[in-house]
Amino acid sequence: MKPDVLVAGAGVSGLTSGIRLAEAGFQVRIVAAEMPLDTTSAAAGAIWGPAYVDHPEVPRWGDEGLRIFTDLAGDAGAGVRMLTGVEASRVPTSAAPWVHGATAAGPGDLPDGWASGWRFRAPVIDMPVYLQWLLKRYEATGGELIRGRLTRLEDGLADAPVVVNCTGLGARALTGDDTLAASRGQIVVVANPGVEEFFVEMTDDPELAYLLPQGDRLLLGGCTIAGDESPGIDPLMARRIIDRCAAVRPEVRDAEVLGHRVGFRPIRPTVRLERDGSIIHNYGHGGAGITLSWGCATDVVALAREIAQDR
């Protein structure tokens, strides 16, 4: 049977859109060149926060994600933890506008050399675990995931009356969108030496420090290197990441390295979430794909219903 909706892409945006559509009553098929654990979503940190992204609806989308991730922290299999931590800056600054319930960090919360910071509570997501949880939830709806690649989005309309484009950086080739660019990120995964709170640096520099505890593992980051699409691990970058994080928490310097991750944020002047005939575009989420995924998926459902009504 032909599905009602064909979703292109099986990262966090594709899976979440597929879930929302299926739970709204649509028969859904996801087609993807990469399976969820092979997508750039699997390489993400990830902590809730609309970073490196712009769109008038970001606050609404982000707040919906915060509500859902807060609830999911009660599901042991979802890979979501609600953690307290600090966002800090080396220069005096105020809290990021999206931070909820922040209080000024005390002197004991800031390492030497840091000028200001804010304590708050936020969801931290273990992406490999979370993506598998999403896939299981999607498959429980009766949705189908197949490996494949669309060379043109219009070709998908032969299989379904609605196509949803959640291809991330792949949208450059599919849509000819030359405003979409990659921002390279790299993470070092170490055995957690006992860090229980997150730490995130506020900076515009391309290299920054963040520590995200995920149980017995600790994720150390990171970088935002515009235009760099090198997939291999940069050992010098990895060393600098460890050094920066050890300046925050010295015990991580000698922690056992368990692995490395590289991913590419799909950066665009603004998120593209809109209808183009019978095609719905949902890409360009920058560093906030996880944060915005549920809110954007809700809008995808509304657009799919609009297309169905037009038919």
Per-residue pLDDT reduced to its tens digit, 6-27: 999 999 999 999 999 999 999 9
Q: What does each C-alpha distance from 60 to 113, 127, 211, 260, 308 come to in angstroms?
A: 35, 22, 27, 33, 25
Tell me: do 110 and 240 sit in the same domain. yes
Q: What does each C-alpha distance from 105 to 92, 199, 213, 309 come to in angstroms?
A: 12, 12, 19, 52
Is the pLDDT at 300 greater than 90, yes or no?
Answer: yes
Strands 207-214 and 144-147: unpaired
Judged by DSSP in three states, 237 sits in helix
Q: Are 300 and 164 in contact (CB under 8 A)?
A: yes
CATH number of the domain to which 238 belongs: 3.30.9.10
Strands 80-89 and 198-201: parallel
Tell me: do 27 and 105 sit in the same domain. no
pLDDT bucket at 122, cuts 50 / 70 / 90: very high
Q: Which of 51, 308, 301, 23 is nearest to 200 (CA)?
A: 51
Total domains, the chain: 2
Rounded CA-CA distance 210/44 in Å is 12
Tell me: do 249 and 290 sit in the same domain. no
Residue 99: per-residue pLDDT: 85
Residue 95: per-residue pLDDT: 85
Q: Which of 5, 4, 8, 20 is nearest to 296 (CA)?
A: 20
Residue 149: per-residue pLDDT: 93
Q: What percent of the chain has pLDDT over 90?
A: 93
Domain ranges, residue 290:
1-79+126-180+268-311
**Helix count and strand count (H, E) for the chain:** 6, 15
Tell me: do 158 and 192 sit in the same domain. no
Tell me: do 164 and 230 sit in the same domain. no
Tell me: do 138 and 58 sit in the same domain. yes
Rounded CA-CA distance 264/149 in Å is 19
Tell me: do 176 and 193 sit in the same domain. no
| pTM of the shown model | 0.96
Beta-carbon contacts of 158 under 8 Å, excluding residues fewer than 6 positions away, are none
Tell me: do 60 and 34 sit in the same domain. yes
At 79-89, the pLDDT tens digits run: 999 999 999 99
Tell me: do 64 and 139 sit in the same domain. yes
Is the pLDDT at 98 greater than 90, yes or no?
Answer: no
Tell me: do 263 and 274 sit in the same domain. no
Q: Which secondary structure element, helix H or strand E, spans residue 15, and what is its range?
A: helix 12-23
Please name the residue that has the structure tokens 């599901």. 75
Strands 80-89 and 225-226: unpaired
Q: Which of 14, 10, 278, 3 is nearest to 143 (CA)?
A: 3
